[in-house]
A and B are shown apart, each in its own frame.
Chain A
Amino acid sequence: MADRLLPWAFGAFHTTLLLGVVLAALQWTSGIRTALEAVGTEAGVAAFVLLWGLSWLGAARTLRDVDFTQPADFPALAGRAALWAGVTGGVFVGVVSLTLVLLRSAGAAGFFIAFLGGALGFVAGVVVGLFLTLVDAALLAGVQLAGA
């Protein structure tokens, strides 16, 4: 059960944490209303579910063959996490961009923009993935210090 539990947990944790941080930042800049009105309920739900699913898959790929009770090769694991976070970001932004392109019938230029969006999403995903890996490592260090 633990092998399937951790990818599920990490996928949900990363997705909800990201949304929480984004909300906190929007509340700080008083931009929540504008952002929510721009996204819409159905689109927001679809985007969240997409990101959650992709995060779950990325965590599963990252943690494949990892025994959580044993010390891990952190640099290798962090590299794998960053790669799959990049894939998650690239696919997420790519799908969202492509959806907007198709909805607005933007033509060939639109597809190029969607591709570019996916590439930028990959880079953003790598950066976010590295940050989340540090958060996860800090939490695990805390768990180990607590003797659990």
Chain B
Amino acid sequence: MATALGGALLLAVLATRRGPWMPDLARNYEALFWGAAGLLVLTGVGNLGALGVVPARGSRWGDLFAVKIGAVVLLLALSMARTMAVARARGAPSRFLRVAYGCTAGLLAGIASLGVQLAHG
């Protein structure tokens, strides 16, 4: 989570600055992001199973969990679009990439916040 969120924040800042863009940094982040995403999903589901406590549908906890899953799916879709934009990028970052990195950081922070709320019941 630290890698994914911290990297997105860094790239969001770098993409909005005037000055040389670092495409290799962006590509390295994308590679790390997808490794982190796989691990986060794997450990998230693993925790759900290992703890044996599943949010019941219709409860507040269940609604929060459903929102979290929806946010994760949205993050994954946005991230794939962002990665494709990085793969196609030539030169300075596009407006799409600037917005995408900001949205990625925001979504990750939101998902982490939902996780904390779920963990505290």
Contacts and interface: CB of A to CB of B under 8 A. Distances in A.
Interface of A: 1-2, 4-6, 8-13, 15-17, 19-21, 23-24, 27-28, 30, 32-33, 36-37, 39-41, 44-45, 48-49, 52, 68-69, 135-136, 139-140, 142-143, 146-148
B41 A20 contact: yes
A17 B81 CA distance: 13
Nearest to A13: B80
A7 to B, nearest CB: 10
Interface residues of B, number: 45
Nearest to B100: A148
Main secondary structure on B side of the interface with A: helix
B40 to A, nearest CB: 8
Given A9-B34, A12-B38, A24-B70, A44 B57 contact: no
A39 B52 CA distance: 12
Given A1-B24, A5-B30, A8-B31, A16 B37 contact: yes
Interface stretch (B5-13, B43-51, B102-110, B112-120): B43-51
A48 B24 CA distance: 29
